[in-house]
Amino acid sequence: MSATSGLSRVAIGATCAALIGCAVSLEDEMTPKPAASAPLPVAAGCAPQRATLRGALRSVPVDGDLLWFTPGAAGTTAERFDAATCLDGWSDRRWLSDVTPLSAVPLGNGEVAGFFVKTVADPSAPFGVREEGVGVAVGPLDGIAAGDALMWTADRPRYGTAAVVDGDYLFAYGCVAARFLDGDCFVARQPLTAIGDESQVEYYRGGGNWTPREKESWPIVDGASDVSVEYDARRGRFLMLYAGVLGDRILVRSGIQPWGPWSAPHEVALCQLPEGAFCAEVQLHVAASGRLPVHELVVSYAVATLEPHDDSDSYATRLATVSLPPLP
């Protein structure tokens, strides 16, 4: 029986068979990316029955359960999305409607590290809200509280957009605008025994080295406004998924460590977009992919635009399955 229901399978043809799994530079051994004349498949995916969900869609595995949430959403969001309409086997999974983390990563024993964006009312700011920065808290996901302490102010990379645990450290990823229609992405780490202690944070500076001084940090990748990073045990690789700034396609990189080195970016699918829109908030859902063949992954993405638009289903957040080339 198919592992998906209403969830389109995006197949990558032989012309797209790039070696994405390598974590070092093996460009000479990689099949070239498809030429412009070889169109990418479209990740049309599934807009859930109650297609009113907009923006990012996150999931986090906790104690054998897969919990879904949207950053910044609360209250009635449980009525907005039903993963079972897109994914067979997830009808018993819960939707979190009372927490609003930017991202969350399981720590074991039912607890997670959750990253929160702190905002304040500001009539002069867009939409009347100004972002002050990002903090981190530890606790059960259905009862975690943000607190007032900030780890990173809003003028710095938005660390915590994605996070992973590896060994004794929590790694947090964040990007910041750079140059024209471009962005640089960084990674910071802190010991699991000192989560939230700013004095224990280190920043990657390249060459396998870390520094406590953020000004010495070095981008791990560019070309993105945010990234999604998860470890895929089936491949034995960390995977990074994102869309280019104001882009229309999903790109993937892979690495053997949370800091890389990362493979070259490879296009895997086009987002399904109405005219004038772009792809945003691309998110991996590795835990939701376990019933799929090893070369397939469940992803989600938001449909964004810089102009006013109607509230049709064309702008609904979508779930899709993308196929990745096999590792050697």
Alpha-carbon distances of 234 from 16, 253, 294, 304, rounded to whole Å: 21, 16, 7, 32
Going by C-alpha positions, the residue among 258, 249, 248, 254 that lies closest to residue 295 is 254
User: How many Cβ atoms sit within 10 Å of the Cβ of residue 5?
Assistant: 14
The model's pTM is: 0.80
Tokens 């900030």, residue? 150
> Tell me, what's the pLDDT at 23?
31
CA dihedral 88, 278, 282, 70 (to 10 degrees): -80
Q: How far apart are CA 102 and CA 159, in angstroms?
A: 10
> Tell me, what's the pLDDT at 4?
38
Cβ atoms of residues 48 and 86 within 8 Å: yes
Instruction: Report the DSSP beta bridge partners of residue 297.
Output: 322
Average pLDDT of the chain? 77
Task: Give the H or E element holding residue 124.
Answer: none
> Tell me, what's the pLDDT at 24?
29
Q: How far apart are CA 192 and CA 59, in angstroms?
A: 21
- First-to-last C-alpha distance (Å) of the chain: 28
Tokens describing residue 65? 């359960």
> Which positions ≥6 away from 167 have C-beta within 8 Å?
none
The three-state secondary structure class of 287 is helix
Cβ atoms of residues 283 and 300 within 8 Å: yes
> Tell me, what's the pLDDT at 83?
53
> Tell me, what's the pLDDT at 80?
38
Task: Give the H or E element holding residue 206.
Answer: strand 202-206
Q: How far apart are CA 149 and CA 47, in angstroms?
A: 37
φ, ψ for residue 325 (rounded to 5)?
A: -60, 145
Low pLDDT (below 50) residues in the chain: 1-38, 49-51, 73-82, 89-99, 328
List, as own/partner pairs, every contact residues 223-227 make where C-beta atoms lie below 8 angstroms and the sequence separation is at least 24, other chains included.
223/182, 223/183, 223/251, 223/265, 224/175, 224/183, 224/185, 224/251, 225/175, 225/177, 225/183, 225/280, 226/158, 226/161, 226/162, 226/175, 226/185, 226/280, 226/281, 227/161, 227/162, 227/173, 227/175, 227/185
| pLDDT per residue as tens digits for the range 168-222 | 999 999 999 998 888 999 999 999 999 999 999 999 999 999 999 999 999 999 9
Q: How far apart are CA 299 and CA 258, in angstroms?
A: 20
Q: How far apart are CA 109 and CA 203, in angstroms?
A: 28
The three-state secondary structure class of 290 is coil
